[in-house]
Every structure is written in structure tokens, then in C-alpha cells.
Amino acid sequence: MNPTLTLSAIQSMCGQLSYKRGESAFRGGKVAVTYYDADAGRCEATVRLQEDFEVALRIDEDGDVTAKCSCPSLSSYAKYCSHIAAVLLLIHDAQQGGKAPGGKADAGGGRGGRAGSGADARSARGSRDDALREGELARSGADDRGARGSRDGALREGEPAGSGADDRGTRGSRDDALREGELAGSGADDRGARGSRDGALREGELAGSGADDRGARGSRDDAGDRLARGLLELFAPVPRAVPASQTRFDTRELLPLAFVCKPFAYGSGGRLLGVELKAGAKRPVSIPDIRRFLRSLTDGEPCAIAKSLEYDPKRHCFSPADYAVLEQLIAIAEQERLYRDTSGVYSAYAAPMSGERMLLVPPPAWEAFLPALIGAPSASIELDNVVYATLTLSDERLPLQFELEEQTAGTGCRLRMPGLMELAVFDAYGLVLAEGKILRQPQEACRRLLELQDLLREAGTGEADDAAEDDRLQAQSLPLPPAQIETFMERAMPGLLKLGPVRIADEVASRITQRPLKARLYLDRIRDRLLAALEFHYGDLVINPLEPERERGIGGPILMRDGERERQILALMEGASFAKTEAGYFLGDEEREYHFLQHVVPQLEKLLTVHATSAVRTRILVGSTPPSVALTLNERTNWLDVKFDIAGIPESEIKAVLKAIEEKRRYHRLPTGALLPLDTDEMKEIIRFINEGRLTAKDLRASGIRIPLFRGLHLMDVPRQGGAVKLDKAFRRLLDNLRNPDNLDFPEPPGLLHPLRDYQAYGYQWMRTLAHYGFGGILADDMGLGKTVQAIAFLSSMLPQIREERLPAVIVAPASLTYNWRNEIRKFAPHIRAVIADGTKAQRHAALAGSSSVDVVITSYPLLRRDVVEYAARSFHTLILDEAQAFKNDTTQTAQSVKLLQARNRFALTGTPVENRIEELRSLFDAVCPDLFPGRKAFGELAREAIAKRARPFLLRRVKADVLKELPDKIESVQASALLPEQKKLYAAYLAKLREETLRHLDRETLNKNRIRILAGLTRLRQMCCHPALFVEDYAGSSGKFQQLLELIEECRSAGRRMLVFSQFVEMLKLIRQELHLRNVPYFYLDGSTPPQERTELSSRFNEGEGDLFLISLKAGGTGLNLTGADTVILYDLWWNPAVEQQAADRAHRIGQKNVVQVIRLVAEGTVEDKMVELQERKKHLIDEVIQPGEEPLSALTEDEIKELLMLT
């Protein structure tokens, strides 16, 4: 090649990192040259690493390099990849040695070919992909300077596109178009973002370095400028190849095409279809290399067809009908290699027939290809040198008729199949070519036709085309000996009728008799063996299927047997594992005998008549009444007495039956020898009760079975009549009361300053009912429905017991809500004596020591952890656990601490009983109903339906839409903002970097190890959406969302609206506060550092009308606050858990609100926040299967969710 490449030029074109990696691949012998043309300056090579990468490049006379690689490099990286570097280094090495790359010494620039060959360049190129496809920077007809671009192959900002290059070719990447919602510069797909191991953005490296001014001027620009320039280049006008299809006012010459479909054989009798092309008007010429011709259409380049004919896209075009076929062929050509490599259909016959002229049409592509082919005016099929010029597709029946005729006396019959061998069957396509028509046929029919043709060939009778007509008809037939005629009628006749009509000669039809099948099965037991005899009765004819077929007299009747029913019966007998003799069946294994009698015989009874002796009939015990289990409630102890009843089984044997159930046996053998089924519907119901009631082996072996009451509560839906589980009246009454808590009609406690709403009164009744029976529960009402009020009402009703027994109640809440509880008690029930156990350790212990003189002790979860020994040593009347999601993880110290508290009544309050995983529900119930659910492992194996069924009596949840019809509407909206230019540059650069890091970790299956790093990166992206100043030092710009918020605040203030602004980032709130100070806008502020007493004071002042703006930290202020003085809630940034956002919105949308509440979520458009919104919506209703009607927040991010958030899918 001329001129000579230099190492410094290669390094400049590829960058330091790609150069070093390319050098490693070159030195390791990983580069294989597949095409080389010194005169044209073209080279193609494969770089063989963990996967193969195809490189195509060209060096013009000025030394400018245009290259393309199949690797997915980043669009934002303006250097060639390491694979191109390896090939350039190989060329440089060859030039230094005066030889062709990968071949012998170059004699001085001869015509190119495959490495080491002397093939002509043009023909050599034709059998593989041309060097540069779409995306090639330079075409042969382009101006030299416009074509070569720059020394390093990178487009300069503002460079004209006259070189014929699109922006993708510039960087050797095929996949850097901006995706929907994706920012400029972040546009690599999942492969491009990974960026290959040579050209991706590394941590701290925005682009390759080390380029000189001419080679890589962009490397000295900052990342934002380069990314913005990439965006401009992406939308720059790009010259397109001249369209091959004829346009409306086209002046080019129409080049007619003819498409010829030809079959070729593979395997044993199978056929595939290929297509040949002919071009020209008067005397069409076959196109010698169809693949090279199709590539030229794709590239918009000329292609020589014959000496006198060349396709030139500037002079020629194709009719729309022809071009529709060409488009299909182009797609097929891309699929052909994969199909050929994976299907194994290219036999020794197929290889020479498919060749250069023919293109295989894979069966999967046929459905799309056929309509275009039929629409082409010059499409035909050539079969056995016969050309069918008109193609028609039809669903009509095959032109095939079978004929059953009698041969000379005593020699049986003959089945004639005239026309069968004239059918061309393409089973892979589900097609048959018959009389010039393409007939669709099921693949099963095609397979049968091929098998019949094989039979004729095997008989040597299928190819007698040169014989006389009678001999030819005689040839296309098969003989049927007399002994096989009945079997033929039974097995083959139904299948033949699906292919075509069957004409039966009169002399054969007169012998056919048809009688109904009456099958009989005889069963007996002798010496512990089950014996069976099977008979098929057709009138007076009795057939033993185990005996050899007996030949009936020649010329006698032909019996039409019910073959299908016979096969069903024999299959059932075969599946029962009987041993067989000519005399009958026998079975000596007890397990198999039970399976046959209990499960197979009922199926056989639908097909035949069973005759069984008494020894067989009594083998399976069938009681006069079905088995059952009776449960009786002991109202004194609140325990359930369990008694099993199985008809015909004495009490002494019941325990043995239960032991068999425990061992999961299918039956139990009684002392009499009879087998008691344990897999009937009734027994399955009893087994289900044993499992769901968690009866242990010890329980089942006890003389009297008793279980705690709560273990039977899953029977709440058991019907009153029928079923194997019987409940006594007392137990049914208890279950009915749990279903309808207002049955017991507990009076509302006196002294409440505000009456309870109807739904709150129901919740109070529910708590009283559970407490009446000694149960605890979870009050999981929606935020803002007054869970606190219902709990206070319950405590007020318990005051007589609390004071009589001097056992106070204890309320445990988040630290920020302890004073809120005291205030709510004073507001609704001031007669309740409540004390907060806080302050120093001595103060807390003093409050606890004097608790017998108060009604309620209020503490926080952090203080409970510190004082758990003191609390665990005392007994309490009632335990109220507020915001119970605080101990959703049962391994935490908080969860362990609340479980140590001793209380007669235990209730948890939470608006989000499940935040991330269903296992959190178990942790909550462990604190209020310790024995309701099994251990963690067994709980994980429970179906959600079973969890819901067991939890239902102890969990009460209502939502606002159902119970507060008078509550004003809550209008939710999403307002998008665009990133500012400087903000967008930073976001795009950081996103590209994070994508590469994430994909590297995902590919290496290190997601869990690097989850913290990935989530931290996602947090940085979200902070960038809020305001880059949150983590970019000395950032002097602004933020699109920040400006939008300030405008919203001004609009709301002008309209007289009162706002809550939530953000999870305290630093973001700090930025907002600074701006509000500059604008002299008053506001309230609350975050995690705000003391509890001050929280209460700020809330009261705001609700009383002071101020119109409240800035709140999302996590600190999302629970326990009543801010009904606001009518607008602005969520500045999104939180992974939508339930947290819901809680924040419900600070204003709750009881006491008089105005419509507007909830506005601010989202940065085209960023990770867009994806967060989509992800949240999909997750919202998952938990509804267990908790009605609640919602489950966003779960821990999976690999797929991380990819989606980073727009890698």
C-alpha cells in the first residue's frame, strides 16, 4: 500500500489506549487478513479475540485512512478502536518487510485478492462482504479531499458531509443513533455503551488522549463540547445512496428482472428452495453472483452482470414490484449464513446447486417472501426442467386420489396412488407444488406424502414414466397381502382420507363389515397377584389383543375395527406396568396395584366394561361416608379440639392413618388387607388442614389433638355445609365475628372530644373484637385516615382494665412523632394520662418506674433499643407500634426489641405494611401475632394466596377513595423540565461513564458486589437532574428543574395557594433556601435535625395560616405530620419507593382538608427520572395480591431494572 503508514500516525488515529491494545492483538497473532487489494488500497481482516471482529479499511493516495469495525464502539469516542489499530499495525509491519499483509512479499502492487492468493480483486470481493458498507466515509466517486476527511478519520466540527460519510461511519460504530429519551452523547446502545474493550469511556477518561492537533483536535475540547458536536453531526445532512426503486419522476432506465425459484434436495427426499436472478429486457442474462449483486444494491454501487451488461444505480432502476422482491432477498442474504451454519441442511447435493447464482430461501423467511414473489410479473418456478411461469398460491385440496382395488383371487388388494410422484413436496415450507400451483399443506401431511413417495421408490415402482400407461398406473401402487388388509383399514385409512379421497372398488367394499366394539376387562386376585384379561368383541368375533393375529379365510369379510379406541385401552394397560403373557396380564406389586385400581380403572370404565371379583372390589376401601375432621372450640381456653373420623376405620387405627399421611403415602394398608386411599379429594382437604394448621408429628400422635385457636383461623372461608372439615357452632360464631367486627357491638368509649367517623368506628370495633379473643392485628389504613384516632379510642375503652390492673399501655413510635402522640391524646381524649419516657437515662427510667400511675407510656424506637431490658422486665396491657414499617426487617435490633415487650393486646399501625418485599409482612406479624406465620424459610415457600388467607382476619386496610367520599380530590400531575445546556453536557458525560461501568459489572456477574457503587452512580444522576451543584464543585450554572420550581412558587403565591415542597436531598433544600432568601420569600423549614417539639409547633403554625411555603425533607417529614393547611404538594425529586412519595402527598390530603390538593412531581425530561416514573407505575399493584387494596413500593433494583434506568435495553 502507498503511502507508508507510520506508527505515530496509527497512534494518532486510534489513541494511546486503543493503540496499546491493538499492538497486543497484533503481536499475539490475532489478526487474519481475508482480503487485500494493494492498487485500491483496501484491506479486510478478522481480529480473533474472545469473539471475532471484522475490520474493513481503505488507505487513499494521500495516506488518509477510512476504516470500519464490527465492534460496538461509542459514538462519543472520536478515535478508531483497537481492532482497527491491530490491522493497521499489521499493514505497517508488512510495508516495512516489502510484502503483502498476511501473505508473501509484494512484487510491487499487483491486483489484490484473498490473503496469500492471486485472485482477481473484483471476483475475490464478490464472494464476501464488500469492504465498506453503509457508514463508509469515502466512496470511489467522491472528491479526494471531501472523501478522506481528516488524517485520523474524525469529522471536524462543521465539516461538509460531501464525502458520502454518515456520522456512524466516522467512528466505526453502527449503533449510535440517539434513542428515544436519550441525550446527545449518551447514545450508545447496550453494546455501544459497553463500548468494547478498546474504545469506551474509562473512569476519569472522557476521550482518548495524546492526539496531535491535526489528528485529534477534539481530544483537547472539554467533554461537553465534544458531545454537543456529536449531536450536531448526528443531524447533519448526509448524502444517501441513489434509491434503486423507481421513483415518480425517475428518468433512469428500467432494468427488468426475472426471479426463478428452483428446488434442490437435501437429506433423504427433502427439498429447499433457492432463487436465481436474471436481468435484461430482450434476452435476460443470469446474474453470476447474486450475493455480490445484492450488496451492490445496498451500497449503491455499480455491479457487472455480464460483458455487455452492468448495473449502474445512476442509470438503472427497478419497478416497485421487482424491488419489493429484492428487498426481501437482501434480508434473506443476511440470514442465509446463519441458517446454513445452524440447520445442517447443506448436504453434498445442495452445495453445488446453491452456489454463486442461487440464494437459499430459509423456511422461516418464506412467509414474508412469497407475497412479494407472487406480485412480481416475471417470477417463475422451475422443476425438473419444466418452468411454471405463473405463480398462484392456493389452499385447495391436493389433486390426489387413492384407489383400493382387489388383485387376482387370493393375492390381496392393491393401493393405487396415481399422480403422487408428480407432486413436489417441500415439507420444510409446508408447501406442495402441483400442476403449477403452490398449495399450502400442514407439515404432517407433507411428511406423509414424502413417506409414501419413499415407499414407492423402495418398491421400485415410482419412476416408470417411460412405460405404457397401464404399466405406469400399475407402477404407482403398493400391494396389500390378505393378512394386512384389516390392519390397513384400521390404521392407514384415516390418514389417507386426510390427504385425499379413497375410492374402494366394489368387490372390496362388498366384503367390508362394520360392527361396534364392546371391550371387556376381567379382574381377579389370586395369591397376592392381580390378574387381568382383556377382550375386544365385534359381534360374535372375540379378539384377544395379546394373541397373534389369526388369518381369516382369503376372500372373506374385512372387519373395520375401532382402532382408535383399541389403542386408548391398550395404552392405559401398558402404562399400568402389567407383565404380559398370551393368557393375559398379571401384577404383583402393591404400589402399582393400588395405582391401577384407584386411578387407571376409572379411566378404563369410560372405554370398556369391567368385571371384577369380590377380592378385587374389596381391595380398595370405600366408606359409606367420606372422611372428615371436626373442630370444636373450647371457649374457656380458646383452643381447638381436633377429631378425625374415617368410616369403617376404628379409633385405634386412626393414628396409623395419620402417620401414613405424615409420611406422604398415597394409601394406607389396613389390617384386613384393604387399601385406604389417601389421595382422594376429601383426604386432600384433610391433609391441607393439617399443613395449614401446622399440626406436627407430635400433635398427630397425641391421644387428644388440641391446637391454638389462631392455627384454625385460615378456615374462615370453609362452607357451612359439605366438605371434609367440620366446624362447631362456637367456632363458626367466632369466625363470623372476625369477619364482621361490629357483630359484638362494643360501645364507643365515653370522653372522646370528637366523634368517630363510620369507618373509624368500624376500625375501633375490629380492634376490640381481636382483643376480645386475645389476638393482635395490623391497622394498615391509608395515610390520613386517622389510625392514631382509632388507637386512642381503643385505649380509652380499655381504661377501666388498665387502671384496675395498674398495667399501662405503651406506645412506640418514631422519635419525631412521640410529641405528636401526646398532643393527639390531649386533643381527642384528654382524660387519658400519658407520659413521654425520654430525656436522660435517669429521666427515662424514672418515667418507666412510675408508669403504674399513668395510663399510657410513650417512647421511641431508638430509646426502646437502649432501654429494652427495663421494658422487657415489665408487663403492659396494650402495645401500640406506630409506623411499624420501622421494624420491617426482622433481623434488626428494633425488630428484636419490640418482640421482647410483654403485652396482652398488641397492635401495629402503618400505612405501608409492605414496602419492598412480602417478607416484611411476616416481620410485622411476628410482633403482634407471633405464631401466625411459620419461620422465614417456610414462609418463603407459602403462596401469596395462602399468606393473604392467613393474614386477612388480622389486617385491616381502607383507602381514602373507599371511605372518604367527602374528601376533596387529589389531582396528581407530572411536569417535565429540560436540562440546561451546561447541565446536559455534564449529565451526558456522567451517564456514558456510568453505563460503561455498569455493563462491565453486569457482564462479569458482579452486580451484587458493585450494587452500592451502581446505586451511588444513579443517585449522582438524579442529583444532576436536581442541580449539578449538589456534587460538582464550583458549578456556576443553574438547573432547568430549579428554575421551573422557582416559577411554580411564584405562580402559586400569586394564586394564593399554600405549598409543601419535598426533597430527599437536604443540600437541595439548602440551595432552595438560599434563593428564597435572595428573593425575600418567607418559608418554614423542617428536616431530620428538627427537634420533635419544634416539628409540632411548625405544623400548628402553618395549619393556622402562617406563611404559604413549607420546605420539608422527604424522609424526615414524610410521616406523622398533619399539614392540611396546604393545598399544593411539590415533589422536587423522585424517590425509589413510591409509597414514600404517597406519604408525603398525604401530609396535606387527609382528614381536615377542605380544598382540592394538587400534587406535582417534577421530572427532568429524557433522564433517569423518566425511567423511574415508568418503573414505579409497573410496581404499584404487585402487593394487591396479599393486601387489599394497598400498594407495594418499588422493590430492590434488579439487573434488568438497572439496565432500564440507564437506558441500556
Q: How confident is the model at residue 583 (pLDDT cuts 50, 70, 90)?
A: confident
- Which are the contacts of 1054, defined by CB distance < 8 A and separation ≥ 6? none
CA 59 vs. chain centroid, Å, equals 47
Mean pLDDT of 393-412: 83
- Which are the contacts of 423, defined by CB distance < 8 A and separation ≥ 6? 398, 400, 432, 433, 434, 449, 453
Q: What is the mean pLDDT of the chain?
A: 78
Q: How confident is the model at residue 802 (pLDDT cuts 50, 70, 90)?
A: very high
Q: How far is CA 1184 from CA 747, 964, 1189, in A?
A: 33, 20, 6
The secondary structure of 553-564, three-state, reads CCCCCEECCCHH
- Which are the contacts of 35, defined by CB distance < 8 A and separation ≥ 6? 42, 43, 44, 45, 112, 113, 114, 115, 124, 125, 128, 131
- Name beta bridge partners: 610: 521
| Angle in degrees, 0-180, between the axes of helices 893-900 and 919-928, rounded to the nearest 10 | 30
DSSP secondary structure letters along 130-168: -S--TT-S--TTS-HHHHH--TTSPPPTT--STTS--HH
At residue 55, the 3 state secondary structure works out as: strand
Q: Are 17 and 206 in contact (CB under 8 A)?
A: no
Cα–Cα distance, 494 to 1041 (Å, whole number): 74
Cα–Cα distance, 825 to 751 (Å, whole number): 11
Mean pLDDT of 1145-1168: 81
Query: What nine digits make up the cell of 304?
Result: 457487472
pLDDT reading at 823 higher than 70: yes
Cα–Cα distance, 717 to 701 (Å, whole number): 28
Mean pLDDT of 1049-1062: 87
Output the CA torsion sign for 15, 16, 18, 23: positive
pLDDT at 904: 94
Query: What nine digits make up the cell of 485?
Result: 388388509
pLDDT reading at 1178 higher than 80: no
Share of the chain above pLDDT 90, in %: 27
pLDDT digits (tens, 9 = 90+) for 347-375: 433 444 457 889 988 888 888 899 999 88
Tell me which of 640 and 125 has the higher pLDDT: 640
Q: How confident is the model at residue 576 (pLDDT cuts 50, 70, 90)?
A: very high
pLDDT at 1108: 93
∠ at Cα 1060 (1058, 1061), nearest 5°? 130
Cα–Cα distance, 699 to 697 (Å, whole number): 5
Nearest to 1147 by CA among 1174, 1172, 1105, 1115: 1115
pLDDT digits (tens, 9 = 90+) for 1088-1107: 888 888 888 898 999 889 99
- Of 24-28, 147-151, 342-346, the range with the lowest mean pLDDT is 147-151
Q: How confident is the model at residue 743 (pLDDT cuts 50, 70, 90)?
A: confident
Q: Are 123 and 111 in contact (CB under 8 A)?
A: no
- Name beta bridge partners: 437: 392, 434
Q: How confident is the model at residue 343 (pLDDT cuts 50, 70, 90)?
A: low
Neighbours of 527 (CB within 10 A): 6
pLDDT at 645: 86
pLDDT at 75: 44
Highest mean pLDDT among 25-39, 162-176, 255-269: 25-39
Mean pLDDT of 158-176: 37
pLDDT reading at 450 higher than 50: yes
Nearest to 711 by CA among 638, 769, 768: 638
- What's the length of the chain? 1209
Neighbours of 510 (CB within 10 A): 12
At residue 851, the 3 state secondary structure works out as: helix
Strand runs (DSSP E) across 978-1113, as ranges?
A: 1059-1063, 1084-1086, 1109-1113
Nearest to 1184 by CA among 698, 780, 608: 780
Q: How confident is the model at residue 779 (pLDDT cuts 50, 70, 90)?
A: very high
Strand runs (DSSP E) across 619-761, as ranges?
A: 628-634, 639-645, 667-669, 675-677, 705-708, 725-727
Q: Which residue matches cell numbers 387489599?
A: 1188
Mean pLDDT of 699-714: 78
Nearest to 1115 by CA among 1091, 1135, 1092: 1135
pLDDT reading at 108 higher than 50: no
Q: Are 36 and 101 in contact (CB under 8 A)?
A: yes
pLDDT at 606: 95
At residue 1029, the 3 state secondary structure works out as: helix
pLDDT reading at 530 higher than 90: yes
Alpha helices in 243-344 (DSSP H): 290-299, 320-343
Query: Would 747-962 and 970-1205 be classified into the same CATH topology?
Result: yes
- Overall CATH class of domain 970-1205: alpha beta
pLDDT at 1203: 58
Query: What nine digits make up the cell of 1018?
Result: 444513579
Q: How confident is the model at residue 1009 (pLDDT cuts 50, 70, 90)?
A: low
At residue 668, the 3 state secondary structure works out as: strand
Q: How far is CA 571 from CA 73, 578, 600, in A?
A: 60, 11, 11
| Residue type present at position 1003 | D
Q: Are 1062 and 1126 in contact (CB under 8 A)?
A: no
Query: What nine digits make up the cell of 143?
Result: 472528491
Mean pLDDT of 150-178: 37
Domain residue ranges in the chain: 7-234, 253-390, 402-478, 517-617, 628-738, 747-962, 970-1205
Percentages helix, strand, coil for the chain (3-state, rounded to 5) are 40, 20, 40
Mean pLDDT of 577-591: 89
pLDDT digits (tens, 9 = 90+) for 994-1008: 877 776 665 545 556
Question: Residue 354 is inside which H or E element, if any?
Answer: helix 350-354
pLDDT digits (tens, 9 = 90+) for 256-276: 999 999 887 766 556 788 899
- The dihedrals phi and psi of 444, each to the nearest 5 degrees, come to -65, -40
Cα–Cα distance, 921 to 714 (Å, whole number): 17
- The dihedrals phi and psi of 583, each to the nearest 5 degrees, come to -80, -25
- Of 199-213, 853-867, 1014-1028, the range with the lowest mean pLDDT is 199-213
- Overall CATH class of domain 747-962: alpha beta
CA 188 vs. chain centroid, Å, equals 23
pLDDT reading at 835 higher than 90: yes
Cα–Cα distance, 726 to 715 (Å, whole number): 10
